[in-house]
Amino acid sequence: MRPEDHPAAPAGKVAILLINLGSPDEPTPGAVRRYLAQFLSDRRVVEIPALLWKPILYGAILTTRPKASAANYAKVWDRAANDSPLRVNTREQAKQLEPLLGVRVDFAMRYGNPAIADRLAALKAEGFDRILLAPLYPQYSSATTGTALQAAFDALAAMRWMPAIATLPPYHDHPAYIAALAASVRAQLSGLDHQPERILLSFHGMPRRTLDLGDPYYCHCRKTARLLRAALGMDDLSMPLAFQSRFGRAAWLQPYTEPLLRQLAADGVRRVAVLMPGFSADCVETLEEIALEARHSFLSAGGTHFTALSCLNATQPGMAMLARITGDMLAAWRLPG
């Protein structure tokens, strides 16, 4: 091929790819089994040697867990959209962010669909030669941001002509993120007919071993909590921190959310609200695990009022925050004209 026969390079077309965790394609045991097989085969998620882990995964876990997980997904599945809440919310975030920034905004899931590799290939085929990868995890963990970026880099490695890539850093302490969380909490509390005695900050759990190996996630969560308390004029007694979604028998980051809620009720706390600052969009972990299961635990232990506060989703504070943090990253790519 002669040099003049090569296709012309795109003229600085910029896109953003929002990335979140993922969901099964439907709330059925078969779809959940496929999803969990991909998710729990990720070496950044489960760091047990494959020789030991694979028999457990394809034995006890994938033969028993999909049915129960499918039932949980079914409780919160968006019937109108016929989709998971996480995909519905992330799709809406992408839709609203695009006009705010004036660039193409797409979204992908680390596990399930739409796949990161597929969306990167589609954007490249459309001529986008500058892509900001934006994992929507405020606090960095190898099992969340790390694996999302690795999946993207693996897809890019197969391309002869790669687009230029930037990555969104963790934003756990970004002033715009803290301000958006504080505004969301104030707005939601103003709509209640009671005043919570505690606002519990529930972050997704990670094995304790990840902290010992140098993962910054625990420290990022604690800093988010400290900054949000300061923004709302609260302390660690009125706004405690806990970790949810524990899996397996190993020690995870503590305290655990549901036991702490039961202890609060036993100590005489009757009114609680729970905020999940590590989740950028509502999903099965917030809508089922907290809004349903944790509610039942707290009320059964003697509590009288339980409020699961919504994630930022595509609310005005949430979208203003996303526009700020992604817009700042795009500044170097702003072209004249």
Q: What number of other Cβ atoms are within 10 A of residue 192's Cβ?
A: 13
| pLDDT per position as a tens digit, 316-335 | 999 999 999 999 999 988 75
Q: What is the pLDDT of residue 12?
A: 75
| pLDDT per position as a tens digit, 124-182 | 999 999 999 999 999 999 999 999 999 999 999 999 999 999 999 999 999 999 999 99
- pLDDT-derived band at 275 (thresholds 50, 70, 90) equals very high
Q: pLDDT at residue 5 above 90?
A: no
| pLDDT per position as a tens digit, 84-119 | 999 999 999 999 999 999 999 999 999 999 999 999
Domain annotation for the chain: domains and CATH numbers: 11-170+317-333 (3.40.50.1400), 175-308 (3.40.50.1400)
Mean pLDDT of the chain: 95
Q: pLDDT at residue 236 above 50?
A: yes
Strands (E) in the chain, as ranges, are 14-23, 104-112, 130-135, 164-167, 198-204, 241-244, 271-275, 305-308
As a whole number of angstroms, the distance between CA 337 and CA 334 comes to 9
Q: What is the pLDDT of residue 1?
A: 42
Q: What is the pLDDT of residue 250?
A: 87
Cα-only R_g, the chain: 21
The answer to whether the predicted template modeling score (pTM) of the entire model surpasses 0.85 is yes
